[in-house]
Chain A
Amino acid sequence: MQEYITVSILNSYISGLIDRDELLQEFWLKGELSGFRHYQQSGHSYFSLKDADSTISCVMFKSRIQKMRFRPEDGMEVLLRGYVSVYARQGKYQVYVEDMQPFGTGSLFLYLEKLKSRLTQEGYFDLDRKKDIPRMVNRVGVVTSQDGAALQDILRVIKLRHPGAAVILAHSSVQGSDAPRELAQGVQMLNDYGLADVIIVARGGGSLEDLMAFNSEELVQAIYDSAIPVISGVGHEVDVTLCDLAADLRAATPTQAAQFAVPDYGALEKSLTNLNARLIRCMQRQLNNRTERLDRNLMKKVWREPQLLIEKQNDRLMLLEQGMGTAMLNKYKESSHRFELAAQALDKVSPLKILNRGYAILTRNGTIVSKIAEVVEGDDMDIDLIDGRLRVLIQGKEKINRWRI
């Protein structure tokens, strides 16, 4: 039977080889962070470090992480100190990280942290000072390099969203020793010029050193002083510069900065058209509404046949007239009846009636004479009968006692 060894023996043999190699016991390693994971429970972090062709697993224990001055993120270029050892359980060799810092920064990084905390304290990044980006932007001021890809990205996006928007470029170098001053001047110059509705400060991605111009106090001050709203679009998603913090709006990239800066012209136009249509439709409806109400009222019978109104009055008038006629007639009837009664009564006592029965009236010179004492023989007298008057001469008189009741 062939001789053999166990897996454990092999792993511990390899581990021994590696552990005895002095080179692997302490070295500085540069690479890009990838798959960074921090476990809350254990406090350890696991990640890979890679370059263009190769990758290696790394572990960093809690005690080491606590000493770290920055927050590692995927894609970050870092420099780390550590040693290689074998994790026998998985037959895997990995780097045990003792210390890690952003590549090439060291003191630079610390300086930046200090500057940031000072400026924060001094209120340069206060959120309540942030200006709104106007919805309508026709002129975009851009502070960036006229030769950079960032400008191309910005122009492309602006053309796409708002083809009519004008761009005013304040050229500035975006790295190197002149860059901080030029960037700050660009912002000031656009403010002096005054015509831009918004200012983009931008640069494509790069290392922390490359982006250092956007971490200058000068630029922060210029942005802080700017009367025109400033959008920063510096580097990649992960890069946060002081320029980003000072700006009124932070975009992750120059492309996004351009998107934030100009409105989607088409959409804006559409919403304006829409508002306009609603405005008119609404007014139309209001007017229709009222026209309809007016019509409804005008359709009423009284308007179509106004004579009805008169007829109605006429009817009333006629009724009244009738009433009045009847009343008058009644009154007349009543009166004539009363008159008749009175006439009859009068008739009964009329002297003519008496004459009719054969009585006569004796008068002398128009005065009625009813007693013989008033008469002497030879008097001329008149006797009225019913149908005429007799002239008589009195020839004698004789007293007679009449029966009296």
Chain B
Amino acid sequence: MENLDFDSALTRLEEIVEQLESGQLCLEDSLAVFEEGVKIALYCQKELKKTDGKVQRLLKKLNGDLDVTDIEI
């Protein structure tokens, strides 16, 4: 779950919903994938909110280090 990126997570969520909607799983499996689905949905929602809308400029300093500063454009 932790090493899942958003795209894979979303794809997995779609799979799970389809699986559940097919109604072919037994109750135990349904509950298991449901639980996974809920976790993934929460993760996706968290990812969606993980943004701040900043604009920054990336510069390479003379010593080769990278330097990031917020800018207003």
Contact = CB atoms under 8 A, between A and B. Distances in A.
B56 A166 contact: yes
Q: Which of A134, A135, A166, A276 has the most CB of B within 10 A?
A: A276
A282 B55 CA distance: 41
A275 B13 contact: yes
A185 B60 contact: yes
A283 B48 CA distance: 24
B41 A275 contact: yes
A171 interface: yes
Nearest to B22: A282
Nearest to A165: B51
A162 B50 CA distance: 12
Contacts of B60: 185, 189
Nearest to A276: B41
Given A265-B48, A272-B48, A286 B55 contact: no
B17 A138 contact: no
B53 A272 contact: no
Interface of A: 134-136, 138, 141, 146, 151-152, 155, 159, 162-171, 185, 189-190, 192-193, 265, 268-269, 272, 275-276, 278-279, 282-283, 286, 290
Contact of B55 (A166, A268, A276): A166
B32 to A, nearest CB: 11
Given A164-B51, A275-B41, A193 B58 contact: yes
Nearest to A188: B60
B55 A192 contact: no
A279 B66 contact: no
Interface in B23-41: 23, 27, 30-31, 34, 37-38, 41
Given A168-B68, A272-B44, A279 B34 contact: yes
Contacts of B16: 279
B57 to A, nearest CB: 5
Contacts of B57: 146, 168-171
Interface in B50-73: 50-60, 66, 68, 71, 73
B2 interface: no
A77 to B, nearest CB: 31
Contact of A135 (B10, B37, B53, B55): B10
B41 A283 contact: no
Residues of A contacting B: mostly:
helix
A147 B45 CA distance: 35
B17 A272 contact: no
A135 B31 CA distance: 28
A167 B13 CA distance: 28
Contact of A279 (B10, B37, B45, B71): B37
Given A166-B55, A167-B54, A279-B34, A136 B47 contact: yes
A136 B7 contact: yes
A279 B44 contact: no
A138 B58 contact: no
B42 to A, nearest CB: 9
A151 B41 contact: no
Nearest to B53: A164
Nearest to B9: A136
Contacts of A165: 51, 53
A307 to B, nearest CB: 32
A138 B52 CA distance: 9
A264 to B, nearest CB: 12
Contacts of B17: 275, 278-279, 282
Contacts of B6: 134-136
Contacts of B41: 272, 275-276, 279
Given A275-B13, A283-B20, 19 more contacts: A134-B5, A134-B7, A135-B10, A136-B6, A138-B47, A138-B51, A146-B71, A166-B52, A166-B55, A166-B56, A168-B57, A169-B71, A272-B10, A272-B44, A272-B45, A275-B14, A276-B41, A282-B21, A286-B20
A61 B47 CA distance: 60
Contacts of B55: 155, 166-167, 169
B56 A278 contact: no
A168 B51 CA distance: 13
